[in-house]
Structure 1
Amino acid sequence: MISSTPSSSYAAPSLVCLPDLDALPVASAQVIQRKQWLLFAAAIFLVSVPVFIQAPLVRSLPWVSLFFTVGWLGLGRWLQAHRQTQVWGDLLIGFTWTWLAGSLYWGWLRWEPLYHLPVEAIGLPFALWGISRKENKVANFFYLGSFLGTVVTDIYFYLVDLIPYWRTLMQVGEISARPIFQSAIAQIQTPWGIAWAIILASLLLALSLLPLASQKLHWWAFSGAVLSTILVDGLFWVAACLA
């Protein structure tokens, strides 16, 4: 007669083979969280630090800066082709669009502020197309975050009437730039300039922090790119005050 009660010799092996289910989710969560913060930091770095490298390079050697675009794209494609570095290659491809736009505008078109946003938007159709196809999300959302920060900064320049100073600065040498910087700072320090700085900085801060509630890596790349706009603008403001 077959007993309906499972024997201990049958149950024991299944208990031994069970994985530690409590430990696995914790380990996975830690790995994901670490990757999120690394990507967030990398996005901030790729928007803020290269600005101070590309700016002097593109003014004196615009063709060299433009040539670097090919190098960034090649490195991004190479990293993207390997599973362990795929996300970093994706991020670098998004950075390539921002580098290309910066090379083109600051190398040859910096004398006219009206051309700034159209040139910076050079990668926008490709980013939107990629998002619609759910491809290269980290690259496309990083580029969108960087472009959004540029749009908000330019809006501030128009609202506070800093465009005339922009045009003049692009046409004078370093010695003549100091009084222009001082006049621009005086314009920013008016109640109108301070009010809009607070409003737009708060908007950027909200747009950079809210996506961090998501677990998706591309939102963390977007957040880092947006937040870095505040850092870059703040550093330029300090530089202008010290000029």
Structure 2
Amino acid sequence: MFSNILLAYILTSTQPLWVQQWSWATFVKKAQQSQRWLPFTIAVFLVSVPVFFQAPLVRIWPMLSLIMTGGWLGVSLYLLRTKETELWGDLLFGFSWTWLTGSIYWGWLRWEPLLHLPVESIGVPFAVWCLWRGWGKVGNWFYLGSLFGTAVTDGYFYIAGLIPSWRQLMQVDPSMAMPIFQNAIALAGTPWGISWAVVLAMTLFGVGVFPLQSPEPQWWVFGGAVLSTILVDSLFLVAACFA
């Protein structure tokens, strides 16, 4: 039926055929691009959610945040049941890993920076196993992309000497945090801190942009998760400067 309508339009249209072909090709190209950019955008959003929503929640009600992992997982499994929503269920499955690990660390272990990356990485064996089996490519690559961004950010904290400030911020009353913030900003503003910030930001940019050459949604999700690290870290830096 659709092919008959399209054929009738071509035969009765006064536009040249090459214009119609160009318009149709443009439409298809834009549709394909939107199918890539939407997962990318959602991935960026999902990386930002734990930072701006989960962080304050987990400090007050860590157990509630942990229990919510089951809710995310349930919605994910429901969306995975149909072809139309399979991609979003897959992506939400990977997000469930980031939510779970974030709840565990920021809820009970945030006072020790050395445990941050190991806790955030507890889902890696499962993610690698799933990818080896060819299952959950979108969600698992989202989780790994988010984890890569976390690893780079933590690496900067170690290189710039910000780990002591991290420990102090997690232990003092919020009203006494300003001097610690100022000291951390001073360390980050040294030539050493700025140089490494530029190097690591370029690393994140390169790792995030390179996968976007592929049409596969899992690579766009991975790229979005990595690139969003630059955005989130920049927002934190701006907030710290104006605090």
Q: Scaled by the length of structure 2, what TM-score is found? A: 0.89
Q: Distance in 2 between matches of 1:234 and 1:50?
A: 16
Please list, as runs of the form range in 1=range in 2, the aligned pairs for 1:53-92 lying within 5 A after superposition: 53-92=53-92
Give the structure 1 partner of residue 129 of structure 2: 129
Give the structure 1 partner of residue 224 of structure 2: 224
Give the structure 2 partner of residue 153 of structure 1: 153
Q: Distance in 2 between matches of 1:145 and 1:24?
A: 35
Gaps of 5+ in 2: 1-6, 11-16
Q: Displacement of 1:240 after TM fit?
A: 1.1
Post-superposition CA distance 1:119-173 (Å, at most 9, x none): 0001111111111111110001101100000000010000011000000000011
Please list, as runs of the form range in 1=range in 2, the aligned pairs for 1:45-194 lying within 5 A after superposition: 45-194=45-194
Supply the AA of the counterpart residue of 2:133.
Answer: R
SS of equivalent residue, structure 1 residue 170: helix
Give the structure 1 partner of residue 13 of structure 2: none
Give the structure 2 partner of residue 215 of structure 1: 215
Q: Distance in 2 between matches of 1:137 and 1:32?
A: 19
Residue 50 of structure 2 contacts residue 102 of structure 2 at CA under 8 Å; is this kept in 1? no
Q: Distance in 2 between matches of 1:141 and 1:236?
A: 25
Q: Displacement of 1:28 after TM fit?
A: 4.5
Q: Distance in 1 between matches of 2:123 and 2:35?
A: 26
Q: Distance in 2 between matches of 1:154 and 1:181?
A: 17
Q: Which runs of 4+ in 1 moved over 4 A?
A: 22-28
Residue 39 of structure 2 contacts residue 220 of structure 2 at CA under 8 Å; is this kept in 1? yes
SS of equivalent residue, structure 1 residue 83: coil
Larger-Rg structure = 1
Gaps of 5+ in 1: 1-15
Q: Displacement of 1:49 after TM fit?
A: 3.1
Q: Displacement of 1:174 after TM fit?
A: 1.0
Post-superposition CA distance 1:83-130 (Å, at most 9, x none): 111101110000000000100000000000000000000111111111
Q: Distance in 1 between matches of 2:139 and 2:32?
A: 18
Percent of pairs identical after alignment? 58
Give the structure 2 partner of residue 5 of structure 1: none
Q: Distance in 1 between matches of 2:85 and 2:48?
A: 22
Give the structure 2 partner of residue 4 of structure 1: none
Supply the AA of the counterpart residue of 1:162.
Answer: L
Residue 112 of structure 2 contacts residue 167 of structure 2 at CA under 8 Å; is this kept in 1? yes
Note closer, same or farther for the CA distance 1:25–1:131 as it changes in structure 2 (3 Å cut). farther
Give me the CA root mean square deviation: 1.8
Q: Distance in 1 between matches of 2:35 and 2:126?
A: 26
SS of equivalent residue, structure 2 residue 107: helix
Q: Distance in 1 between matches of 2:27 and 2:231?
A: 33
SS of equivalent residue, structure 1 residue 135: coil
Give the structure 2 partner of residue 7 of structure 1: none
SS of equivalent residue, structure 1 residue 161: coil
Q: Distance in 1 between matches of 2:81 and 2:28?
A: 23
Give the structure 2 partner of residue 236 of structure 1: 236
Give the structure 2 partner of residue 40 of structure 1: 40
Q: Distance in 1 between matches of 2:58 and 2:134?
A: 33
